[in-house]
């Protein structure tokens, strides 16, 4: 199975904010970049300490005091609130809620805590990334070095593209799986089409 270091991904950039920035600044970064998550970095060491997702912003909307303090509260303090939050037990009202409401509640409880972002190393295999995505029910992982500094971002889309047929989009040669299979059968991709190698045309 291919390692990240041998694969070219469509998007390797991870947007970062510092833990001592305000929650309001973090929300603005999420909105401005139209992304679902930002890496939260410790200013002193530049290490990844958490991730802040657009889905976490609902915590602000549930608490008037938190919302009113969003410009003063630091991201690291907001994340700590989530880390300290205990697992909630389902009430009778929740058990009788509509299935869609229960599903939404369950999904929020199953997502990794902000303080526990999913990470991978460039030496990891795609198999490991897929396992991490499945176990944590997340759709992205931060690529980090041996010191915990962010080197990039891998998304579920990046992994799926590695197994996509070559001709779906002429901008891409197709995933590593198909490219390898084509090479073994004497074909390659050229201009968005599958063509035989020269030795097979003579």
pLDDT value of residue 17: 95
3-7, 53-57, 88-92, 142-146: segment of lowest average pLDDT: 88-92
- When pLDDT is averaged across residues 119-138 and rounded to a whole number, the result is 88
- When pLDDT is averaged across residues 83-98 and rounded to a whole number, the result is 48
Q: Does position 74 have pLDDT exceeding 90, yes or no?
A: yes
What percentage of the chain carries pLDDT values higher than 70? 66
**Beta-bridge partners for 180:** none
pTM for this structure? Answer: 0.67
Residue positions counted in the chain: 202
CA distances from 65 to 23, 62, 87, 114 (A): 13, 9, 21, 20
Q: Does position 115 have pLDDT exceeding 80, yes or no?
A: yes
Better-predicted residue by pLDDT, 182 or 116: 116
Contacts of 58 (CB under 8 A, 6+ apart): 108
pLDDT value of residue 9: 53
């Amino acid at each position: 199975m291919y390692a990240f270091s041998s694969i070219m991904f469509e998007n390797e950039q991870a947007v970062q904010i510092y833990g001592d920035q305000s929650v309001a600044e973090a929300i603005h970064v999420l909105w401005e970049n139209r992304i679902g998550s930002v890496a939260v970095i410790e200013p002193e060491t530049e290490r990844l300490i958490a991730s802040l997702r657009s889905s976490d912003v609902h915590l602000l909307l549930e608490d008037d005091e938190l919302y009113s303090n969003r410009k003063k509260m630091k991201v690291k303090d907001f994340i700590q609130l989530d880390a300290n939050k205990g697992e909630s037990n389902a009430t009778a009202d929740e058990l009788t809620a509509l299935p869609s409401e229960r599903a939404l509640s369950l999904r929020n409880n199953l997502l990794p805590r902000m303080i526990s972002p999913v990470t991978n190393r460039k030496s990891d295999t795609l198999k490991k990334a897929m396992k991490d995505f499945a176990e944590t029910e997340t759709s992205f992982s931060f690529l980090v070095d041996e010191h915990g500094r962010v080197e990039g971002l891998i998304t579920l889309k990046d992994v799926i593209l590695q197994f996509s047929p070559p001709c779906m989009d002429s901008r891409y040669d197709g995933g590593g799986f198909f490219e390898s299979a084509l090479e073994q059968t004497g074909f390659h991709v050229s201009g968005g089409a599958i063509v035989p190698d020269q030795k097979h045309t003579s």
